[in-house]
């Protein structure tokens, strides 16, 4: 989907992004995580050419992004920023309709797309379409920002600290929504954050950046088991890495054959949650139920612990 090929960005003598290569697969969520000043936002902004690379190239679907006029390229790429950047003088519906209008969609198609998106983001279309941004809560503004970015059905969505301005409870909900939406629309997402927990929670792949370089990129479990760099290890932290590892696997994926006495857990729950439940109840095993409530297997403490080991 996206190939970032030896890309650098310099401002005068300062190198902000230093020879970064990264491949982002279709229909996946790639999280770029790093502290402020690590160059992660600049890297993201080079994908839709809000920043032009000094060296290297970026291929989107095999085509060099530099070949297309920037404003046309950007209409194909959704973009969400921290603090949403909604147009304060336009209603929610008009905000969402921005890119479809630029693309010249007809009014009926725009209206139906706006309704679909509002509904998909838990914003009742009848009551929200005509509100203005200042009449919404922070969480609602953020969701409208996501809806606006998704309006023209982009195959690619870029998100720059999209949940940074939200309080923790709303942030969790927004992250769940993003995962649901990503599955529903099959959008490829590149998300930038400084929050390592968010990175592990959302990312199919996580790239850790520092001082303009990508220190390591891979699946969250790979980063946890084998940090390639002391800084990566420090960012991830060692105190709860086993539990982090458990949180990456669901009960459904780890379930063994048979049933167990003890509590019942959902197949979608993470092993970390199942373990917590077992510790809490003092039980040795749990039965795993699918979404319909049918048993699909069982888990015991030993099996869970084995999943959290370093190798």
Partner 1 sequence: MRFVVAALRLAALAALVAFLWTPQTFAPLFTPLTQFGAPPIYDQGDLLTLALAHLGTVCVAAIASSLVAVGLGILVTRPGGAEFLPLSRSLVNIGQTFPPVAVLAVAVPLVGFGFKPTLIALFAYGLLPIFENTLVGLQTCPPAVLEAANAMGMSARQRLWSVELPLALPLILEGVRLSLVISVGTATIGSTVAASGLGEVIIAGLLSNNTAFILQGALVTGLMAILLYDGMALLERRICRHSRVD
Q: CB of 98: closest distance to partner 1 in angstroms?
A: 5
Q: How far apart are CA 114 and CA 292, in angstroms?
A: 32
Cα-based distances in Å from 66 to 55, 69, 245: 11, 8, 39
Binding of partner 1 by 89 (CB under 8 A): yes
Between 89 and 309, name the residue whose CB sits nearer to partner 1. 89
Between 86 and 251, name the residue whose CB sits nearer to partner 1. 86
Binding of partner 1 by 31 (CB under 8 A): no
Among 22, 58, 81, 146, binds partner 1 (CB under 8 A): 81
Three-state SS at 160: strand
Three-state SS at 26: coil
Take residue 95 and report the two structure tokens written for it.
């905000």
Binding of partner 1 by 293 (CB under 8 A): no
Q: CB of 32: closest distance to partner 1 in angstroms?
A: 17
Binding of partner 1 by 41 (CB under 8 A): no
Residues paired with 191 in a beta bridge: 31, 159
Strands laid side by side in the 55-60 sheet: 14-24, 2-11, 55-60, 63-64
Binding of partner 1 by 309 (CB under 8 A): no
Binding of partner 1 by 74 (CB under 8 A): yes
Between 146 and 235, name the residue whose CB sits nearer to partner 1. 146
The greatest distance separating any two alpha carbons of the chain, rounded to the nearest whole angstrom, comes to 66
- By CB under 8 A, which span of 53-61, 77-85, 171-179, 275-283 interacts with partner 1? 77-85
DSSP state of 178: H
Q: CB of 79: closest distance to partner 1 in angstroms?
A: 4
Between 95 and 287, name the residue whose CB sits nearer to partner 1. 95
Residues in region 126-155 near partner 1 by CB under 8 A: 132-134, 148
Q: Side-chain half-sphere of 125: how many Cα atoms within 13 Å?
A: 14
Q: Which of 11, 137, 160 is nearest to 81 (CA)?
A: 160
- Quick note: the x/- pattern for partner 1 over 246-285, rule CB under 8 A, is ----------------------------------------
Give the binding site for partner 1 (CB under 8 A).
Answer: 48, 50, 71-76, 79, 81-90, 98-99, 102, 132-134, 148, 158
């Amino acid at each position: 989907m996206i190939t970032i090929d030896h890309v650098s960005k310099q401002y005068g003598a300062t190198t902000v992004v230093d020879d970064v290569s990264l491949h982002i697969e279709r229909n996946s969520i790639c999280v770029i995580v790093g502290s402020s000043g690590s160059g992660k936002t600049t890297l993201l902004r080079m994908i839709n050419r809000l920043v032009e690379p000094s060296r290297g190239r970026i291929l989107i679907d095999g085509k060099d992004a530099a070949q297309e006029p920037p404003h046309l390229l950007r209409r194909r790429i959704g973009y969400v920023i921290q603090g949403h950047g909604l147009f304060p003088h336009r209603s929610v519906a008009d905000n969402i309709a921005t890119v479809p209008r630029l693309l010249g969609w007809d009014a009926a198609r725009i209206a139906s797309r706006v309704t679909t998106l509002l509904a998909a983001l838990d914003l009742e279309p009848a009551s929200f379409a005509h509100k203005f941004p200042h009449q919404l809560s922070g969480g609602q503004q953020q969701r409208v920002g996501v809806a606006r970015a998704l309006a023209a059905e982009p195959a690619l969505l870029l998100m720059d600290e999209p949940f940074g301005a939200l309080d923790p409870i709303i942030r969790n909900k927004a992250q769940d929504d993003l995962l649901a939406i990503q599955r529903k629309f099959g959008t490829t997402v590149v998300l930038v954050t400084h929050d390592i927990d968010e990175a592990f929670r959302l990312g199919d792949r996580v790239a850790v950046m520092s001082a303009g370089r990508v220190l390591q990129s891979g699946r969250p479990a790979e980063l946890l088991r084998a940090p390639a760099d002391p800084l990566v290890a420090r960012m991830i932290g060692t105190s709860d890495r086993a539990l982090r590892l458990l949180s990456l696997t669901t009960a459904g994926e780890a379930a063994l054959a048979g049933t167990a006495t003890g509590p019942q857990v959902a197949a979608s729950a993470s092993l970390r949650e199942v373990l917590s439940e077992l510790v809490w109840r003092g039980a040795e095993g749990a039965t795993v139920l699918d979404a319909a409530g049918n048993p699909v297997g069982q888990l015991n403490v030993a099996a869970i612990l084995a999943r959290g080991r370093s190798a």
